Amino acid sequence: MTSAATSLAGKVAIVTGGASGIGRAIAALFAHHGAQVTIVDLDEVRGPHACEEIIAQGGRAAFHAADVTSAQACAEVIERVARDCGALHLLCNNAGIIRRASVVELSEEEWDRVMAVNVKSAFLMCKHAVPLLARSGGGCIINTASGWGLAGGPRAAAYCASKGALVLLTKAMAIDHGPQNIRVNCICPGDTDTPMLRQEARELGEPSDAFLDAAARRPLQRVGQPAEIAQAALYLASDASSFVTGTALVVDGGGLAGTL
């Protein structure tokens, strides 16, 4: 059951990287609270399946396969939503990748790819979405950053740099677009039980169980679940946060509590 404060009834939402992990949980929760959701992802297997699950639960969802590092692809996503839905109220830039390496270990191509997926995609989606959000009367942009966008981490140079850039992009956009009634915030999750977290273990050559045990060493003594991060996104998307913009909301079980 939804409350009036968290209802997204009548809202149109886009979630990039919505085929799995945190993005999938956000898309499902937004739909549950009444939003019409478009999932944007490169994964043409899990993306449609995520939509089918939403529809089976009585929600409204569509899938659009797109590479959000492409300006043309981002423009086409926004054009399609404008054509099919007539408006846009919520944009979640959740697409992201990680490469666990120091600057010495990183190739130039790996650096460029992390920055393209994690930062450039948000820029491009926002560039094309903001005019439609403004024409729709305003709305919300939510960027998925990271705790490592606020504090550094080992062998994660490109990832930390990209997420730090996303935090400050969020703040700059909040200043620019507040007069258009567009709120811009970001979520900074801690380690969350997603396919990407397990990929980190493989990149570092560590057993998955041991890696997850280490990730759980925080005050709440566990890693997060995608549904918990989605609840933070729902708060930022809803009227419950109507006076919140330009913020970086840390959702990490206390992982950064002793560092910031």
**Rounded average pLDDT over 20-30:** 98
Active site residue 159: yes
Q: What are phi and psi of 121, to 5 degrees?
A: -65, -40
| pLDDT, average across residues 97-126 | 97
pLDDT of residue 211: 86
pLDDT score of 157: 98
Q: pTM to 2 decimals?
A: 0.95
The predicted-structure confidence for 205-229, as pLDDT tens digits, reads as follows 888 888 888 889 999 999 999 999 9
Select 12-191+225-247's CATH number: 3.90.1150.10, 3.40.50.720, 3.20.20.10, 3.40.50.2000: 3.40.50.720
| Residue pLDDT, tens place only, 65-96 | 999 999 999 999 999 999 999 999 999 999 99
Going from N- to C-terminal start, the domains of the chain cover 12-191+225-247
Residues written for the chain = 260
Write the pLDDT tens digit of every residue in 160-219.
999 999 999 999 999 999 999 999 999 999 999 988 888 888 888 888 888 888 889 999
Residue, of 213 and 108, whose pLDDT is higher: 108
Residue 256 neighbours by CB distance under 10 Å: 16
Q: Are 244 and 236 in contact (CB under 8 A)?
A: yes
Judge whether residue 260 has pLDDT over 70.
Answer: no
Of 30, 148, 159, 235, the active-site residue reads: 159
Buried b (16+ CB within 10 A) or exposed e, 150-180: beeeebbbbbbbbbbbbbebbbebbeebeee
Q: For residue 56, which of 32, 80, 22, 84 has the smallest C-alpha distance?
A: 32
Q: Looking at residue 259, what is its pLDDT?
A: 82
